[in-house]
Structure 1
Amino acid sequence: MKLGNKLIISMLLYFVIGITSLNYVTDIVVMKSYSKLEKDNLYLEGERVRNIFTDATKRLDDLTKDWAYWDDTYEFLYNENKEFVDRNLVVSTFEEINMDYAIIYNNNGQAILDYRYDENDKKIKKVKKSVINELWKYKNKDGLINIDGKVLSISSRQITDTNKIEKPEGLLVFAYDFDKEIIKNLKDKLKADIEVDFNESSFNSDIDIKTYNANSTASFKIPYLNDNKAMEVKINIPNKITNLGKKTITEFIWLNTAMFLIFTFILFLILRFVIINRLYKLRKGTHEITKSKDLSKRLNIKGNDEVSDLKDDINFMLEKIESINQELTEYATFDMLTGVLNRRAGLKILKKHMFISKEKGTPLTIAYIDVNNLKVVNDKGSHQLGDRLLTDVVDIINSNIRNTDKVCRLGGDEFLIIFPNSDYITVNKIFNRIQSVLQKINKSSNKPYSIAISKGIVEYDKEMDIDHFIELADKYMYEEKKNK
C-alpha cells in the first residue's frame, strides 16, 4: 500500500479513535493526574512545614555545641567561677538567642548552674527540680520533651575543651518553651492554616495525606524524647488544583470536539504536501542515481527538517561511497610509499602495451631496476632512511623519462619501467643520463647514503609472453649487478 493511502486511512482512524477516547482520557486519566499533582503538592507543603518545625526544634543545636566545646565552659565545670556566669549568662544573652533554660551539670548529675529566663519579669530564676532531673537523662540529644504540662525544645552536649582533646564530662543543656507563641510565630512565617496537637498518642514518621471534597490535610508528627507521645502538626489546604482541573477538563472537551475534525484535515494536508510529496521526490532521485550508476549526482530537496536531513544523509553517503571508490582505485593502482604504479596496475599496463606493439609493430622496451644497498641502509640506518632512498630513486627516474613512460614498483627495492614506442638504444641512452645524474648527486649531496641502481633492459619481441619478457629483464639486471 502506498504511503499516501496509508496516510488517509491513518487520519480517519485518528479522528474516530480520538473522538471516542477523548471523554475517557480527560475524565479518568487527566483527573487522575490532577489528583496526583494535588497530593504531590500536599506532600511538598507538608515537607516544607515539617522541615521548618524540625529546624525550630533544633534551633539551639549549633549554639549548644559552641558553648559545650569551649575552654571557659570546661573550666567552669571544675572551678564554678562566678566571672564566667556574670560575663556570659545574663538577661541579654537569653533575649538575644531566644532561650529560656541554661543548665550545666557535673559528672554526678548535679546542676552546678540552673537558669530559667522569665520573659514576663525579664529576670533570671531557678529551674524546677523536676525539670533538672528530667533533662539530665538526655545526653547529647536534640528534640522535644513533654514535662509538667509544658513542651520544651532542648539541645544537650557533654562538655570538653575547644580543641576537643579532653574527655567529655558533665552536661550542658539549652532549652526554650515550645509554646503557643512559638507556634503562632511559625504560622505567621509559613503563612499556612496550621493546627497543633501536643498530646498525640502515637508516632509515624511519614507525612499523612487525607483528601476531602473542599480541602485536604497534610499531617506529620514529631516524637518526644521522654515518652511515647508526639506533637502532631496538621496543615489545612484547599483543593485548588483538582477544582481547577475539573473546570479545565469541561471546557477542554467542548473545545477539543469542535476543533478535532478541523485539525485532522489540516494535519492531513500538511503531511501530504510537506512530507509525502517530498519523500516521493527523494525516492525518484535515488532511483535515477541507481539506474545511471553515477555517484557524482546529488539529491536536491529544499527544507530544514527530517526529510532534508535524510537528503543530506543520502548525499553524504554518496560522497563517502564516491570517496571510498577513489581511495580503492588509488590503493589498487598506486604504491603508497613512492606514488608510482603498484605491481598489479603496472603489469596490466604492460600487457596493454604488449598487445599494441604486437598489433601495430611499434617498439616497446622495459627496464628492470634494482636499488643497490637498500638492505644495508635499512640495517645501518633505519627503515625510514631506506624509504627515503627509494623515493629519491623514483624522483630521479621520473625527472628523466617521458610522461608516457610508466614506473611501477614490483616489490621491495625492485621497479619496472615501461617505455612505449622506444627501442633498446633509446632506453639505454636514458639510463646513461640517469647514471650521470646519480654520480653528480652522490658527489654533491650530504645524504648518509649513496644512490646506485642496477638495470636490465629488454626490447619486446612479439613471440614473448609477459612472464618471459620480465624474467629476461630481471636476468640482465642481476648480471649487471653481479658485475659491479
Structure 2
Amino acid sequence: MSIQTKIITVLVVVLGGLLLGDLIVLDRVVLEGFRKLESQETRREIGRTMAIVDDEVKSLDPVASNWAQWDDLAEFAQTGLPAFAEQHLSNTILDTLALDMVIVVDRHGRVVLSRFRNRQTGGVIHVDNLEHRDFPEDHPLLAHNRGVGHIRGTIATDNGPILTTAAPLLGKRGVPPAAGTVIIGRLMDKAAVSRISGQMNNALEMTPITAGLSSGQRETVNHILALDEPVIERAADGSWTALLVQRDLFGYPAALYSITAWSTIHGLGADTVRTASIMAILASLTVIAVILFLMRRLIVHPFANLKRELLDIRASGDLTKTIPASGKDEFALVSREINDLLTERA
C-alpha cells in the first residue's frame, strides 16, 4: 500500500469518525432538544384546551346568579309549594334556558325539587351523587354551607358529563343566612365541544364515559387512569393526538377527550438537523479535498521528483550528477544526504 493510500485511508477514517460523532450529537442533543420543546408545547396546549373545557361551566353563571337573587325561589326552598315549580320550573322553561338539571335544596340539606331530564332526548338522567332526598352537610355542592360563591364543576352521569353550578339562595338582599342552594346543570354536548375546538384551532372530541363504552375505549380509559397522565401519540405528518380522562367533582371519570393538533417544532428541528448534517458532510468533503491537494503538492510531487532523479542517475550510471536540494524541508535534507553519498561513491 502506497503512502498516499495510507494517508487517504487515515483521513477518511478520522474525518468519518468525526462526522459520525457530529451526526450523533445532532440527533441525540439538538433534535432531542426540539423533541422536548415540542413535548412542553403539547402539554401547554392540552392544559389550555382543558382549561377552556372547565371554563365552559361558567356559561351557567348568568342563570345561577339570577336565581340566587330570586326571592320567590328562596321562599320556595323553604315552603316547597308545587305550584311554584309547575309555573316557574317547568320543562319548557328549563328547555328555554338550555338546562338539563335543576335541584333546589333547603338550608337543612333537604331536597325540595330535583329534575334530571335530557332536553334533547326527553329521557331521564341518572346522577348517582345527586339523587338524594337529603344532602349531607359536607356535600361539595351545598353552597350555603360552604361560605363561598358559586361552586362549579363537572359531574359524571349516564348521559355524559354535565356542567354544574351551585349558588346559595340569598335573595335580593344578598346576605346570609341563605334559604338553601340551587344547583343547575347542562350536559356537555357536541355544540359545546365544537365551540371549544374552534377557539383552540384544534380538533377536539369528547366521548362520555358511560356504560355504552366499547371494550377498546374502556381499555384506553383504564390505561390513562393507571398512568394518571395524558397519552400522547405523534404522527409522521407532524400532528399529535392527546387522549386524557376528565374527572368530575367527586373524582369519578366523566369523559374521554381526544385533542388533535399540529406542531411545526419537531419538523423545524428535523430540518435544522438535516441542514446541519448536509453542511457537516460538505465541510468534511471540502477538508478531505484540501488535504489531498496539499498532500499531493507538498508530499507526493516532491517524493515523485526525488524518485525520478534517482532513477535517472541509476539509468545513466553517472554518480557525479546531483539531485536538486533547494529549501529546508525534509525532502531537501534527504536530497543533500543522497548528494553527499553520491559524491563519496564517485
**Which bin holds the TM-score, normalised by the shorter protein?**
0.5 to 0.7
Q: Structure 1 residues 20, 111: closer, same or farther in 2, change over 3 A?
A: closer
CA contact (8 A) 1:72 1:84 kept: no
Higher-Rg structure is 1
Match of 1:208 in 2: 230
How many aligned residue pairs are there? 245
Q: Does 1:139 align with 2:132?
A: no
In structure 1, runs of 5+ residues without a counterpart are: 1-17, 263-484
Tell me by how many angstroms 1:39 deviates. Answer: 0.5
Structure 1 residues 84-105: Cα deviation after superposition (integer angstroms, max 9, x where no partner):
975687846743x532222222
CA contact (8 A) 1:203 1:223 kept: no
Match of 1:103 in 2: 103
Q: Does 1:152 align with 2:159?
A: no
Match of 1:171 in 2: 181
In structure 2, the residue corresponding to 1:43 is in which secondary structure? Answer: helix
Q: TM-score, normalised to structure 1's length?
A: 0.40
CA contact (8 A) 1:209 1:216 kept: no
In structure 1, the residue corresponding to 2:163 is in which secondary structure? Answer: strand
Tell me by how many angstroms 1:153 deviates. Answer: 1.9
Tell me by how many angstroms 1:260 deviates. Answer: 10
2:271 to 247, 260, 265: 247
Match of 1:183 in 2: 193
- How far apart are the structure 1 equivalents of 2:22 and 2:127? 71
Match of 1:50 in 2: 50
CA RMSD of aligned residues (A): 4.5
Structure 1 residues 11-38: Cα deviation after superposition (integer angstroms, max 9, x where no partner):
xxxxxxx989753443332201210121
Match of 1:225 in 2: 249
In structure 2, the residue corresponding to 1:103 is in which secondary structure? Answer: strand
In structure 2, the residue corresponding to 1:165 is in which secondary structure? Answer: coil
What does 1:14-413 correspond to in 2, within 5 Å?
22-61=22-61, 63-78=63-78, 86=87, 91=92, 94-95=95-96, 97-107=97-107, 109-115=109-115, 119-120=119-120, 132-133=131-132, 136=135, 138-140=141-143, 141-199=151-209, 200-201=221-222, 203=225, 207-208=229-230, 210-212=232-234, 214=236, 215-226=239-250, 228-238=252-262, 240-255=264-279, 258=282
Tell me by how many angstroms 1:115 deviates. Answer: 4.9
CA contact (8 A) 1:203 1:230 kept: no
Tell me by how many angstroms 1:150 deviates. Answer: 4.0
Structure 1 residues 25-73: Cα deviation after superposition (integer angstroms, max 9, x where no partner):
4333220121012102211210121111111244324642442244443
- How far apart are the structure 1 equivalents of 2:185 and 2:207? 20
Tell me by how many angstroms 1:227 deviates. Answer: 5.8
CA contact (8 A) 2:94 2:100 kept: no
Tell me by how many angstroms 1:207 deviates. Answer: 5.0
% identity of equivalent residues: 18
Q: Structure 1 residues 210, 75: closer, same or farther in 2, change over 3 A?
A: same
**In structure 1, what residue type is equivalent to 2:51?**
N
Q: Structure 1 residues 212, 205: closer, same or farther in 2, change over 3 A?
A: closer
Q: Tell me: higher relative CO, structure 1 or 2? Use CA pairs within 8 A at least 6 residues apart.
A: 2
**In structure 2, what residue type is equivalent to 1:220?**
L
Structure 1 residues 404-456: Cα deviation after superposition (integer angstroms, max 9, x where no partner):
xxxxxxxxxxxxxxxxxxxxxxxxxxxxxxxxxxxxxxxxxxxxxxxxxxxxx
Q: Structure 1 residues 126, 53: closer, same or farther in 2, change over 3 A?
A: closer
- How far apart are the structure 2 equivalents of 1:19 and 1:235? 40
- How far apart are the structure 1 equivalents of 2:22 and 2:125? 70
